[in-house]
Amino acid sequence: MTAGNTEREQALRWVIAHRRPNLSIEQAVRLLCDVLPRDHQTLQALRRIADEVLSQLDAGPTFKRPTPPGSPPRGGPADP
pLDDT in tens, 28-75: 888 988 888 878 888 888 888 888 887 877 665 544 555 555 656 555
Q: Which of 38, 62, 50 minimizes the C-alpha distance to 9?
A: 50
At residue 22, does pLDDT exceed 90? yes
Q: What is the pLDDT of residue 62?
A: 47
What gap in Å lies between CA 67 and CA 80, rounded to an integer?
A: 17
Q: Are 12 and 49 in contact (CB under 8 A)?
A: yes
Going by C-beta distance under 8 Å and a sequence separation of 6 or more, which residues neighbour residue 67?
Answer: 73, 74
Q: What is the pLDDT of residue 39?
A: 83
